[in-house]
């Protein structure tokens, strides 16, 4: 089992020294990866229906820029976007940015992607919210071509490349993991994803979602064991209770577990680090 920490986007603040110290502490504690959520923009929920877990008042560091900053400040941990809202970003530019981060980190990037929920963010970025699923599938194939071919000739529904390529190439196909739990998303992960980044949820539903992904992989002629599975543990209850929860996710198929310390009433970056220390020490003592 590999263990990761979820970067406390909305609570860590904007001091670059604090960001550096947090990431280095995560690495020093022995965690395997650091995962960062993504929102380019926050919206004003006033007068809009539905649930808005994040708004314009929520602070978010841009993941790839954050990872470029951390590339020279960390040595070992993987850096995982969890997840970048792919269809609202320009494909060739993202291919270039991700390749550069992977090069500067020595191959430590996992590009986690999703289709998102914030239609205001899509509108502000000039992208169509309603075609995001189709666009994401097209983008995944195009990203992989940009990372592996010097010149790409492509004409799709959403993107075109009339004989162009990025340079330098990353030297590998950067792993593309996906978030989401809708049936169509789980099917997509099984067909074309390198892994699944689960959100918060119970072990029983987690097991059903893993089964759906594996069945989709089999239908697509893929080896289900080649699709990675990452589960999520919230910092609630005692460390031993968190470890027991993680063990249930592991029994259901998780090979990675990331710890979410946001929304737990922690009042400082040091509080987040202490919570991570308590969890990993409980893991080692179990």
pTM to 2 decimal places: 0.95
Q: Are 98 and 111 in contact (CB under 8 A)?
A: yes
Q: In this structure, what DSSP letter does residue 262 have? A: T
Q: What is the pLDDT of residue 113?
A: 98
128 pLDDT higher than 90: yes
Per residue in 166-189, pLDDT (tens digit) is: 999 999 999 999 999 999 999 999
Q: Are 77 and 33 in contact (CB under 8 A)?
A: yes
Which has the minimum average pLDDT: 117-126, 182-191, 218-227?
A: 117-126
Q: In this structure, what DSSP letter does residue 84 have? A: E
Structure token digits, residue 45: 């929920």
Q: Phi-psi bin for 244: left (phi > 0), alpha (psi -120 to 50), beta?
A: alpha
For the chain, list the strands marked E by DSSP. Answer: 2-6, 33-36, 78-81, 84-85, 109-114, 152-155, 160-164, 176-179, 195-197, 228-234, 256-260
**Predicted confidence band of residue 51 (pLDDT cuts 50, 70, 90):** confident
CA 253 to chain centroid, in Å, comes to 18
User: Which residue has 């987040």 as its token pair?
Assistant: 272
**Predicted confidence band of residue 18 (pLDDT cuts 50, 70, 90):** very high
What CA–CA distance (Å, rounded) separates 187 from 235? 30
Q: Are 81 and 257 in contact (CB under 8 A)?
A: no
Domains and CATH numbers, the chain: 32-179 (3.20.20.30)
Instruction: Give the other-Cβ count within 10 Å of 61's Cβ.
Output: 19
Per residue in 222-270, pLDDT (tens digit) is: 999 999 999 999 999 999 999 999 999 999 999 999 999 999 999 899 9
Structure token digits, residue 116: 């998102």
52 pLDDT higher than 80: no
Q: Which helix (H) or strand (E) holds 138?
A: helix 132-148
Distances in Å between the Cα of 165 and the Cα atoms of 49, 70, 172 are 42, 26, 15
């Amino acid at each position: 089992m590999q263990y990761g920490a979820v970067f406390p986007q909305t609570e860590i603040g904007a001091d670059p020294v604090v960001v550096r110290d947090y990431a280095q502490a995560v690495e020093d504690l022995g965690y395997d990866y650091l995962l960062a959520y993504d929102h380019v923009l926050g919206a004003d929920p006033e007068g809009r229906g539905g649930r808005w877990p994040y708004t314009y008042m929520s602070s978010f560091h841009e993941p790839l820029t954050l990872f470029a900053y951390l590339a020279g400040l960390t040595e070992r941990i993987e850096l995982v976007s969890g997840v970048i809202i792919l269809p609202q970003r320009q494909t060739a530019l993202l291919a270039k940015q991700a390749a550069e981060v992977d090069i500067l980190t020595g191959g430590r990037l996992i590009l986690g992607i999703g289709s998102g929920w914030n239609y205001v963010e899509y509108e502000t970025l000039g992208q169509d919210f309603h075609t995001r699923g189709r666009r994401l599938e097209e983008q995944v194939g195009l990203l992989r071509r940009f990372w592996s071919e010097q010149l790409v000739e492509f004409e799709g529904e959403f993107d075109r490349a009339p004989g162009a390529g990025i340079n330098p190439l990353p030297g590998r196909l950067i792993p593309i993991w996906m978030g989401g739990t809708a049936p169509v998303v789980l099917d997509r992960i099984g067909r074309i994803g390198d892994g699944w980044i689960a959100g918060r949820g119970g072990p029983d539903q987690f097991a059903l979602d893993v089964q759906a992904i594996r069945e989709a992989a089999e239908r697509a002629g893929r080896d289900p064991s080649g699709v990675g599975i990452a589960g999520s543990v919230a910092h609630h209850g005692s460390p031993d209770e968190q470890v027991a929860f993680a063990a249930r996710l592991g029994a259901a198929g998780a090979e990675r577990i990331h710890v979410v310390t946001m929304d737990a009433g922690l009042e400082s970056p040091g509080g987040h680090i202490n919570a991570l220390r308590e969890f990993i020490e409980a893991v080692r003592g179990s």
